[in-house]
Structure 1
Amino acid sequence: MRPGTTLAVVALALAVASCGGGSQEQATGPVEITIWHGQEDTSAKSIEKLVSRFNQSHPDIRVSTESGGATADGMLPKITAALTSDAYPDIAYLYGSWAPNVARNPKTADLTSYVKDPAVGWTDFWANEREAVTVQGKVIGFPAVVDNMVVLYNKKLLAKAGVKAPGPDWTWDDFREIAKKTTDAQSGVFGTTWAISGGEEAVWGLWPLLWQSGGDILTPDHKKSTFNSAAGQQALGLIRDMAVDDKSVYLDSSPAEKGQKLFESGRLAMFLSGPWVLPDLQAAKVDYGVVRLPGTNGNHETVSGPDNWVVFEHDERRVKAATTFLSWLTAAQQQLVWMSDTGSLPVRESITKLPGYQDYLQKYPGIEVISENLANAKRVRPPTTKYPRVSSFVAEAIAEALLGRTDTKTALDEAAAKSDAVLAVPGS
C-alpha cells in the first residue's frame, strides 16, 4: 500500500450509511458474488487470472470481477456511495487504514467465526495483517497485501562519494552521515528526501523512529496523543537536523511526491520506500541496493501498511461463498502466483517455504530483504477513525520543523494539542 492518498476523510460517511434494502437471497444454482479489486495493469490481469482458475475449480460459486470504477486509491468513496444502496459488491480491496471506518457500517460482514476454521490458517498470516483487518474484535475480511518500509540506495552515488554500502546493523547516525557525504548541491544530488506536502507520506516515515526509541503515537485507549514525547522529539529532531543543518534532505513539497523519480534519475542517494517501487526501478535500470531501516539500540522496527479484502453482507450464502473464495485466493499457492506476477510480499509465512519462492526472489532483486523485514513490522498505525486528522496535524508539524520555521518540541506540542481536541470528541 502506498501511503500518500489513503486517508480520505470521506470514510466518515461509512458510519452513517443506511442498512436498509437488502437483496433477495439466492436459493438455487451457483452462488454468484462480485469483487471490486481496484487493480490496474499487471495486478488486474493477475487477479482476473486467479479468479478464472477459482471459477473453473469451484462450480458451486461464480465470482465476477470488476475494477469498481476506481483505482485502489479511489475505492473508499466508491464503496461509500455504493453502500447507500444495494449496488455494493461482496468483496472490495480497501486499504487497511480505512478499516475502522468501514467496520462501522452495518453492511460490513463479521467474519470472526469463519476465520476460526483451521482450514483458513488464520495464524499463518503475519500478526500485523491480522491486526489491520480486525476492528474491536470484529474481523471484516482477509489480508490482501502487506508491505514495509526499507531504505533503497543508489550504489553508484555511494561509490562516487567513497561511502561503503550500509549493512543490516547500521544506525540512524550512519544514515545521517551517508546522506551528508553523498549530498552534492551543485549537481542537484541529495542524500535523501522527505515529503512536506502535508500527506501521510511524510508521517509514516517518522513512526519507525518513534517506535524504535520506545515511543508511540497514541495512548492505548486512543484518547490522547503521545507522539510529542521525548522519543518523538528525538525522531523528528534527527530529520530536522539533516534538513536544516546538513542540508542533505530534498524537501518534497509536491503532492505527487518526486522521491521515486529523483531516485530513478540518480539524484537521490537513499530513498525510504517499499516493495512497490522495485519493478519500476528495474525498468529504469537503476543500480540499487536494499537494506532494512537503520536501528536504534539494535531495534530496526519498521512500519507496514497492510491492505484488506473486505467482505460486505448481502445474505448468508454469499458471505460464506466470499470466505471460501478468499480462503482459496490467500492460500500459499495462489499467493505465490500473485507475488510472482506483481512483486508483492508474502502475506503468509508458509509461502516462504514453497519451492517456487526462490524463483520469486530471483525475479525481484532486493525483495528478499523486504520480505525478511516483515519480522520487523510489529505494529500498524492506530486503528481509530480519528487517525487521518491526527496524521494531518503531524504532517503540518513535520513541514514546519524541516523548513526551520519552529523547533521540534513546539511543532509536536502544537500538533498534539490539536490531536487531543479531536480525540476528545466521542466516537471510535
Structure 2
Amino acid sequence: MRAALAAAVLVALAATGCAGASQEQASGPVEITLWHGQEDNSAKSIEKLVGQFNQSHPDIKVRTESGGATADGMLPKITAALTSDTYPDIAYLYGSWAPNIARNPKTADLSELVKDPAVGWTDFWANEREAVTVQGKVIGFPAVVDNMVVLYNKKLLAKAGVQAPGPDWTWDDFRSMAKRTTDPKAGVFGTTWAISGGEEAVWGLWPMIWQAGGDILDPDHKKAVFNSAAGQQALTLLRNMTIDDKSVYLDSSPAEKGQKLFESGRLGLFLSGPWVLPDLQAAKVDYGVARLPGTNGNHETVSGPDNWVVFQHDERRVKAAATFLGWLTSPQQQLVWMTDTGSLPIRESITKLPGYQGYLKKYPGIEVVSANLANAKRVRPATTRYPRVSSFMADAIAQTLLGKTDPKTALDQAAAKSDAALAVPGS
C-alpha cells in the first residue's frame, strides 16, 4: 500500500493532471470527504481549489464539508466521528492536537510516503514536519504555518521619539520602547499580555525561554524544565515591565482586547501573527512588522503549524487522499491559497515563484512574517499533556504579573504540577 501511495503522490506533484487516471478503478471514481473547518475567505478558497482538483482528476471526487465545526472545534468532532465510524478521509486539525489523534488506529501512517523525493518533504519548513509527526508516524500533510512577530504602531513610536525596531533589537530594547511609549493620561500602553489562562498567555514566553537556552520539557516529555534560569529571566522581564514600568496592559478577557487596543491606536507594541494583518488593513492602522527581539543574537520565534490529517478507510481512499494533498500542498496551489487568505508559505520553494511578489504587495508586512519562518525552529511539545502544562504556566504568568507571587516560586509550582501530570501513563 505504501509503495502505491508514494507513486500516487509522485504523479500528483509532477502536476501532470493524470494522477487519478493512474489508479485502478473497479467501480468509478474514488470518493473522499474533506472536513476543512474554514470560514469566510478561507472556506471560499478551499472550495475553489477542490473544484479545480476535481476537474483535473476525474478518477477522484473530493467532497468538502465544514465538518459541522470551525477549526477551533474540530478535535471533539473528529473524536466523536472516529468513535461512531462517521469520520472523513481528511480533516483540518491544529498541530498541537497531533499527539491526541495519532494514537487512534484509524489515523493513517504516511511515514514511508514522505520519503519519496517527489513529495518534496524537506521543502516544508522543519517545524511543520515536526508538528505532523508523532513518534515517527506521519499523520498527514502540513496545512498552515504561522509565527509570532511584533507589530508596532508607527505614529505612537514617533510621538514618543522611539525609533522603529531594528533587525538586531533585544528584549531590553523591547522593554525600553514599551516604557517610553506608555502614556497613562492618554490611555496608551507600551504593550499587552494575556492573563486569561489560555494558550495566548503562554506562547509568547516560550521563544523568550528558547532564545536563552532553555526549553519547555525534557527530551522524553516526562519533566518540566521551563523553571530554569532561562524561564526565570523571561518571566522576570515581564514582571518588571508590568509592575515596575507599568507599561503592560494585562488582558484578562478571552476575547483578547489587545488587538482592539492596537487597532484603536492605544498600544505601541503588539506580539501577534499574520492572521491579524487583514484586520489591521481594514482598520487603517499605520503599522510596521518586526521579528521578535533577540537574546545574544538569537531571534527564535514560536509557530503553530496546522495539519491536513488523513484517516484510514481503505487503500484506495488513502491513495486518493494522498494524491489530493500532494496536489493541494504543491507550490502553485499554495500560492493561490496564500493570496486568497493571507496565509504564509508552507514550502520554502513558494517564495521563489514569480507570483510571490504580488502576494507580498497585497499584504503589507507579510514579507517580514514570511522571512521569520526561518526563525521558527521548534514547536510546542508533542504530548497529550501539553494543554495541562500550558494551563499551569498560564496561571504562573498571571499570578506573577498580578504581583501575587515572584517568578521563581510561580514557575517552580507550575513545574511541580506539570511533572505530576506528565507522570500519568499515556502522556
Question: Shorter-chain-normalised TM-score: which range?
Answer: over 0.9
Partner of 2:266: 267
Q: Deviations over 1:23-72 (max 9, x none)?
A: xxx94110000000000000000000000000000001000011111110
Partner of 2:417: 418
Structure 1 distance, partners of 2:151, 2:161, is 17
Structure 2 distance, partners of 1:424, 1:81, is 27
Structure 1 distance, partners of 2:220, 2:112, is 25
Partner of 2:79: 80
Structure 1 distance, partners of 2:288, 2:26, is 55
Partner of 2:387: 388
Structure 1 distance, partners of 2:125, 2:268, is 31
Counterparts of 1:140-289 in structure 2 under 5 Å?
140-289=139-288
Structure 1 distance, partners of 2:257, 2:28, is 51
2:340 matches 1:341: yes
Shift in Å, 1:86: 2.0
Partner of 1:310: 309
2:421 matches 1:408: no
User: SS of the counterpart of 2:202?
Assistant: helix
Shift in Å, 1:114: 1.7
* AA at the equivalent of 1:426: P
| Worse-superposed segment, 179-188 or 112-121 | 112-121
User: SS of the counterpart of 2:92?
Assistant: strand
User: SS of the counterpart of 1:308?
Assistant: strand
Structure 1 distance, partners of 2:349, 2:392, is 39
Partner of 2:49: 50
Partner of 1:16: none
Counterparts of 1:323-362 in structure 2 under 5 Å?
323-362=322-361
* AA at the equivalent of 1:255: P
Structure 2 distance, partners of 1:161, 1:155, is 10
Structure 2 distance, partners of 1:143, 1:213, is 28
2:138 matches 1:139: yes
Q: Deviations over 1:213-249 (max 9, x none)?
A: 0000000001100000011000111011000110100
Structure 2 distance, partners of 1:421, 1:334, is 45
Partner of 1:128: 127
Shift in Å, 1:322: 0.2
Instruction: Give the root-mean-square deviation of aligned CA atoms.
Output: 0.8
Partner of 2:90: 91
Structure 1 distance, partners of 2:217, 2:115, is 30
Structure 2 distance, partners of 1:423, 1:40, is 35
Shift in Å, 1:117: 2.2
* AA at the equivalent of 2:386: Y
Structure 1 distance, partners of 2:258, 2:71, is 21
Partner of 1:22: none
User: SS of the counterpart of 2:122?
Assistant: helix
Partner of 1:293: 292
User: SS of the counterpart of 1:167?
Assistant: coil
Structure 2 alignment gaps of length 5 or more: 1-24
User: SS of the counterpart of 1:143?
Assistant: strand
Q: Deviations over 1:353-376 (max 9, x none)?
A: 000000000110000000000000
Structure 1 alignment gaps of length 5 or more: 1-25
Partner of 2:66: 67
* AA at the equivalent of 1:180: K
Q: Deviations over 1:248-281 (max 9, x none)?
A: 0000000111111110011111100000000110
Structure 2 distance, partners of 1:260, 1:81, is 34
User: SS of the counterpart of 1:310?
Assistant: strand
Shift in Å, 1:425: 1.3
Structure 1 distance, partners of 2:424, 2:148, is 32
Partner of 2:12: none
Query: Normalised by the size of structure 2, how large is the TM-score?
Result: 0.94
Structure 2 distance, partners of 1:113, 1:211, is 31
Structure 2 distance, partners of 1:379, 1:343, is 23
Structure 2 distance, partners of 1:427, 1:87, is 26
Partner of 2:17: none
User: SS of the counterpart of 1:250?
Assistant: strand
Structure 1 distance, partners of 2:53, 2:302, is 33
* AA at the equivalent of 1:198: G
**Where do 4+ consecutive residues of structure 1 move more than 4 Å?**
none
Partner of 2:21: none
| Worse-superposed segment, 113-122 or 93-102 | 113-122
Q: Deviations over 1:120-141 (max 9, x none)?
A: 1111100100000000000000
